[in-house]
Amino acid sequence: MKYVSAVAAAILLTGCVTMQDYPNTRPMTAATMESVAKADIVVAENNNGIEKSWFMTDSSAAGAPYGLLGALVSGVMDAIMNSGPSKRAGKAANEIAELMPAQALTVSLVTALQSQAPGGAVSLGNVTTVQKITSPTMRDGAVEILTHYTLSEDASAFRITANVTLEGKALPYKTPYEHKKAVPKTELTGPVYRNTFVYHSVQLPVPTMTQELKARLIASIQDSYKDANGAPPDPKSDDGKALAKELEKAGDEQLTKDEVAIFLTREWLQDGGALLKKEVENAHAFIARYLVQDLNSTAVPTFTGQDQLLETMADKRVVRRVGAGLDAGSYVSAPGDLTSFTTYGNAIAIAKVQSEKISTLNKRASADKQKEGKAKKKSA
């Protein structure tokens, strides 16, 4: 399973390409706050768990001028080049899922939300969960939270994103912005409240290449290509060719992001995933706290505003409210002493157990839909 996206910087939120000159965030209004008062929270069960991002090579465009044969050759080459990174990303996702399964992520967020004290005109009410694959519709009048957890391409950091919406039949949305022409259709309907909360974890230092590290790297790459019986691939097979290419790269003095990930993934797994779990808890505390604050704010973000520093912690972590662009009004928590950017590739791997669960849920949803369709035809 993969998601294709633009490469993102560690402390920047990326918006979609659009011509709109107003933010995606939709702030609360005094009328909405009065209507809601005590907001019921619905947390969408996380299905992907902590994803492992990686960079997928795609040379199909380069093969296009050579016709179908060129495209086929490009596809074969891509399969060879992507084999190792894809397998290792999947293995990392599997190992992380053993220590921090998706269900535990959902439970942790629910606990953080339930612990929040009343924050003003709007406080948090009942906190429940929903499985969006089998129950995709929004719950009327409830605040819904959808989360994503992604380990970076080089495994030096991970990012947690919470997308929050509030929609209800008795809560019509009215755009707070002045539009030069007619009000865009996208500003006429939809949720009365919408915002995004992003947490960037601590950033692990990238290891420096040494002869010992190179030997460990080569051993790790060789191990990742062995079959269930511990045998290496046939040198003439696709896996054998992919292994040869990776070993050739490993012999130089530079560490690629994929090679760095081999070592840094282990750091997140140490001590039963202690650091990983700590950062997840910190992220959920941040989301819960600032969600309550935002539900009690009527500040309208502008497309050309300035970032607002909300908090600076003892460890130099900073929380800011984005001031400009499509993400104006959203909240970001990030380390304040970053020395380099973290990228999130263009593809993700999820744990096998999560992939199987998603497949089962999709089949169930499809069967329920067919059953519902038959019932409607029968009653017509």
Q: Beta strands of 287-327 (E only): which ranges?
A: 308-312, 318-321
Based on the fold, state whether residues 143 and 168 are members of the same structural domain.
Answer: yes
Most confident of 53-62, 176-185, 238-247, 352-361: 352-361
Based on the fold, state whether residues 152 and 213 are members of the same structural domain.
Answer: no
Q: Which of 218, 233, 254 is the last residue of a domain?
A: 254
State yes or no: pLDDT of 17 exceeds 50: no
CA distance 8 to 333: 16
Task: At 144, list the tokens.
Answer: 């819904």
In a domain, 14, yes or no: no
Task: Give the tens place of pLDDT for each residue, 179-191.
Answer: 888 899 999 999 9
Q: Which of 222, 254, 286 is the last residue of a domain?
A: 254
Task: Give the tens place of pLDDT for each residue, 195-251.
Answer: 999 999 999 988 776 677 677 767 767 777 777 788 888 888 877 787 777 677 766
In a domain, 3, yes or no: no
Residue % of the chain over a pLDDT of 70: 86
Based on the fold, state whether residues 265 and 163 are members of the same structural domain.
Answer: yes
In a domain, 5, yes or no: no
Paired strand residues for 168:
171
Q: Which parts of the chain fold into alpha helices (H)?
A: 30-36, 60-63, 67-99, 102-114, 211-224, 238-250, 257-295, 352-379
Based on the fold, state whether residues 42 and 175 are members of the same structural domain.
Answer: yes
Based on the fold, state whether residues 160 and 231 are members of the same structural domain.
Answer: no
Based on the fold, state whether residues 188 and 212 are members of the same structural domain.
Answer: no
Task: Give the tens place of pLDDT for each residue, 3-13.
Answer: 333 333 333 33
What's the rounded mean pLDDT across residues 102-130?
Answer: 95
> Are 56 and 109 in contact, with CB atoms under 8 Å apart?
no
Based on the fold, state whether residues 233 and 267 are members of the same structural domain.
Answer: no
Task: Give the tens place of pLDDT for each residue, 274-285.
Answer: 999 999 999 999
Structural domain for 249, as ranges: 208-254
In a domain, 137, yes or no: yes
Based on the fold, state whether residues 234 and 331 are members of the same structural domain.
Answer: no
Q: How many CB atoms are located within 10 Å of the residue 213 CB?
A: 15
In a domain, 4, yes or no: no
- Residue 214 neighbours by CB under 8 Å, 6+ apart: 250, 251
Based on the fold, state whether residues 188 and 298 are members of the same structural domain.
Answer: yes
Q: Which of 254, 270, 285 is the last residue of a domain?
A: 254
Which residue did the predictor score with more confidence, 38 or 21? 38
In a domain, 366, yes or no: yes
State yes or no: pLDDT of 263 exceeds 90: no
Phi-psi region of 212 (alpha: psi -120 to 50; beta: other; left: phi over 0): alpha
What pLDDT does residue 225 have?
Answer: 76
What's the rounded mean pLDDT across residues 341-350?
Answer: 91
- Residue 147 neighbours by CB under 8 Å, 6+ apart: 43, 44, 46, 105, 109, 160, 161, 162, 163
In a domain, 25, yes or no: no
For strands 347-349 and 308-312, give the pairing: unpaired
In a domain, 304, yes or no: yes
Based on the fold, state whether residues 126 and 267 are members of the same structural domain.
Answer: yes
What pLDDT does residue 11 have?
Answer: 35
What's the rounded mean pLDDT across residues 92-104?
Answer: 95
Based on the fold, state whether residues 149 and 287 are members of the same structural domain.
Answer: yes
Based on the fold, state whether residues 191 and 213 are members of the same structural domain.
Answer: no
The structural domain count of the chain equals: 2
